[in-house]
Amino acid sequence: MNMTPPASTLPRRNFLKTSAGLAAGAALATSTPKFLTAAERTRSIGANSRIRIAQIGCGSRGRTAHMEGIHKHLEATNFEIVAVADPWSKARADANGLVKKWFGRDAKQFVSYQDLLALEGIDAVMVASPDFHHTTHLEAAAKAGKHIYIEKPLATELDKLIRAYDASKAAQAKGSIIQVGTQLRSLPGIAGSRELVKSGILGKISRVDETRNSTPPYWYSYLKRDVQSADVDWKEFLGDRKSRPFDGRQYSAWYGYYEFCQGPVPQWGAHFLDLMHYVTDCGFPQSCMCMGGVTYWKDENNFTVPDNVIATWMYPEGMMVTSSNNFANSAGNTRKFFGEKGTLAVDNWNAPTYSADGGPKRDGQIRGKMDVTPIERPDHFLNWLQCMRSGETPHASIDAGYQHAIAVLMAVMSYDTGRKTLYDHAKRTIKTA
C-alpha cells in the first residue's frame, strides 16, 4: 500500500457543468464569500439562521438516508437543501424532485462535486458518493471550509485517508463540524451499552464478535438500475481509477467491484468496528488477519468483492475482535461482547441485552437476561445540525472515522496480501508482518 500522498488532487474543471433549464433557479446570496471560513459560518448560524446544505452523491443512499433523513428535522432546525451533484442525470433529477417538493423551487444541479463546492453560500455538504470517492470529496469539502456529513467507510487507501484526515482536522480547528455516517453511535441502546461496559458490571472484555450474513449479496439489488451512457459522466464517476469504456453494470452495481468498493468488511464492518470502538472505548488495533474470496456467487456479472470473508483484529487492551460475512447462507447472525462477568448481546442494536452467561468471574450482580437501559440521544442528522449551531463535537467525530478506517484498511491490506498487518499509530503506517 502506497504511503506517499500524491502531489496534487484532481484538477479543477475549466467549465461549469450544470443541468439544462436550471439557470433560472433562485440564486444563493451573493453577499456570502465563496469560501467563508468555518469559524465565521459557525458564528453566523445562530438560532434563527437558515443552514444551506448541498448533497454530493444522489443515489439511493444520498436521497433516502441523507435527504429524507435530514428532512424530518426541517421545522426543528431551519435549513434548506440548495444544491445537488451526481454524475448520473437521473439521480440528480430525482434528488431535485425532492428539493422541489419540500422547498418549492429547484436545486442547483451539478455533475462535478468541484463545481458544487465552488458555489457561493453553501454552509454544509452531505457526501454519499461511492466508497472510493469518500476521501477525495471529504478533503475538498474540508479545504473549502464546509460543515460535512461524510459516509463510511471513510477511506479505501491509506495515503488518501491521511490527507483527508489532516484537512478535516485543520477545518475542524476553524469551526467545521464533521460527522461521520456511522449512525449507530446515535442509537439510545448503543449509548446505554457503552455506559453498561463502563460501569464494570461485565468486567474485562476479552472478545467481540460479529457475524452478519445474508443472501444474496446486497450488490445484486443494484443491477436493476437502467443506466445509459448518454446520461452519465463516466469520467467523473471513475475519478482516479483506470480509464475504460462505459460499463452500465459497473456503474449500477459498483458495490460488487473491488476497485470501487472493498466489500462487506469496509461496508458493514465499519459500522460494527465503530460501534465496538465506542462501546469499549478502546484504542487502535495492533494487528489484523483477513481472508476470504468470491466463493459462491460466480456468474456473468464477474463481481470481484468477496462474498465470504472474515477479519480478526487484536487490540492493545487484550481484546480480540472478529467480523465475519457469508452471502451464501443467511443463518448465524450475532453480535456479542464477551466479558469475564457476563455477555452483552447487541444482536438487535435497538434493544441490546446482557446476562451473566459464560462469565468465569460472574459475581451475582446480573440475574437472568437483562435489557440495557437506553440513553436518549438525538439521531445522527439532528446531532450534526445541532452541533453546527452549538459548536460541540458530534457523536461520530472525524477522529472516530479515522479509527474505524485504520482498522478497515488493515483488513484490506491483509486480504490483498494474504499476510498479517501491523499498525504503527505514531508513524501512521500499516505494514505486513
Domain ranges of the chain: 38-176, 186-376+406-432
Kindly give the confidence (pLDDT) of every residue in the chain, 433 residues in length, as a single tens digit, with 9 standing for 90 and above.
Answer: 333 333 333 333 333 333 333 333 333 433 333 344 444 554 447 666 899 999 999 999 999 999 999 999 999 899 999 999 999 999 999 999 999 999 999 999 999 999 999 999 999 999 999 999 999 999 999 999 999 999 999 999 999 999 999 999 999 999 999 999 999 999 999 999 999 999 999 999 999 999 999 999 999 999 988 899 999 999 999 999 999 999 999 999 999 999 999 999 999 999 999 999 999 999 999 999 999 999 999 999 999 999 999 999 999 999 999 999 999 999 999 999 999 999 999 999 999 999 999 999 999 999 999 999 999 999 999 999 999 999 999 999 999 999 999 999 999 999 999 999 999 999 999 999 9
pTM over 0.85: yes
Question: What confidence score (pLDDT) does residue 48 get?
Answer: 67
Give the integer Cα–Cα distance in Å for 169 and 175.
Answer: 10
What's the CATH architecture for 38-176? 3-Layer(aba) Sandwich (3.40)
Q: What is the pLDDT of residue 368?
A: 95
Category of 137 on φ-ψ map: left (φ > 0), alpha (ψ -120 to 50) or beta: alpha
Contact indicator for 343, 207 with CB cutoff of 8 Å: no
- Residues 82 and 50: beta-carbon distance below 8 Å: no
**Predicted local confidence at residue 354, as pLDDT:** 98
Rounded alpha-carbon distances, angstroms, from residue 25 to 20, 35, 39, 102, 410? 11, 21, 29, 15, 46
Q: Are 315 and 321 in contact (CB under 8 A)?
A: yes
Domain spanning 186-376+406-432, CATH architecture? 2-Layer Sandwich (3.30)
- Nearest CA among 370, 358, 389, 272 for reference residue 321: 272
Backbone φ and ψ for 200, nearest 5 degrees, come out as 85, 0
Query: CA end-to-end span of the chain, whole Å?
Result: 14
At 313 the pLDDT is 99
User: What is the phi/psi pair of residue 218, to 5°?
Assistant: -60, -25
If one counts every other C-beta atom within 10 angstroms of the C-beta of residue 73, the result is 18
The whole-angstrom separation of Cα 421 and Cα 403 is: 15
Beta-sheet strand order (sheet of 178-180): 108-110, 79-85, 51-56, 124-127, 147-150, 178-180
**Residue 378 is placed in which grid cell?**
438525538
Query: Rounded CA gap, 410 and 403, in Å?
Result: 11
Which residue, among 342, 388, 420, 327, has the nearest Cα to 39 in the 3D structure?
A: 388
